[in-house]
Chain A
């Protein structure tokens, strides 16, 4: 960009591919990519008494079903606070998957990995 461009609209180099459908987004990486489907809380505030994943795991094409109890090591700890601010005296971050209770509608509770989205959603249901 030179001073000759000051005050001028500048065309973006990436627009050519974006307006022709040639962009490449995460969902475009490949038709064989596995799909992760998250089961989310329908409740604003509730205790998780039990989760039965056996039926979901038994479905053909389901690769894995995870709940909080399946998370190993540091994944079972609340997510790290990357830039801790000194004024936060009791900082809290979320768990990857809900532990014992949910605190908002839409909180992730179970993660299902499947060969495709359709199977993943079958298992999530």
Chain B
């Protein structure tokens, strides 16, 4: 992936009018589907996903990289979409919670496991935990307890107390293992 800056459009910036700030054309590839959006340079990726693309499954909690709710996968790595500018995601491969289940509705093993193990209550932090867990298991299909704790340490949940979430990640590893046999 190149880090080239997207080409600004010819829209002239009008002074003092924030809606008229210079717009940049950004190609966002989300869950395999590419969309072109026009965004101001300061638009966060989280807002681009939620507002421009209407994918409200990615949640915004603290907006400064503490809570992990906005975690998405960018080129296979779990990243905070609230600390990523939409323009820097141009051309990258983004995965969000909406892309985890199959088209026929079959849940991803991580989604199944969170459901089975009661790894969620209110569900607000869940998209972040799911994307973090998917990224963990894709890099390490059989993590031990310490590695799971370490991996989810960047996500906050105010309901479950983490034990069920850790059980869910372990269960997801099992389900993924079974699926691969």
Interface residues of A (CB under 8 A from B): 9, 11-12, 14-16, 18-25, 27-28, 31, 59-61, 115, 117-119, 122
Contacts and interface: CB of A to CB of B under 8 A. Distances in A.
Given A27-B60, A28-B56, A118-B42, A19 B19 contact: no
Contact of A19 (B43, B54, B55, B107): B107
A21 B18 contact: no
Given A19-B107, A19-B120, A60-B19, A11 B56 contact: no
Contact of A60 (B18, B56, B107, B116): B18
B19 A61 contact: yes
Contacts of B40: 118
Nearest to A59: B18
B132 interface: no
Contacts of B18: 59-61, 118-119, 122
A19 to B, nearest CB: 4
B172 to A, nearest CB: 11
B65 interface: no
Contacts, number: 74
A23 to B, nearest CB: 5
> What 3 pairs across the A-B complex have the smallest Cβ distances?
A21-B57, A18-B123, A21-B97
B17 A60 contact: yes
A28 B97 CA distance: 15
A18 B55 CA distance: 14
A20 B17 contact: no
Contact of A20 (B16, B42, B57, B118): B57
Given A60-B18, A61-B18, A20 B98 contact: yes
A18 B51 contact: no
Contacts of A9: 116, 118
Contacts of A31: 50-52, 54
Interface string B95-109: 011101100000100
B165 to A, nearest CB: 12
A25 B56 CA distance: 9
A15 B59 contact: no
24 contacts: A9-B118, A11-B115, A12-B118, A15-B115, A18-B120, A19-B97, A20-B97, A20-B100, A20-B107, A21-B57, A21-B58, A21-B96, A22-B57, A23-B57, A27-B60, A28-B56, A31-B51, A31-B52, A59-B18, A60-B17, A60-B18, A61-B19, A118-B18, A122-B18
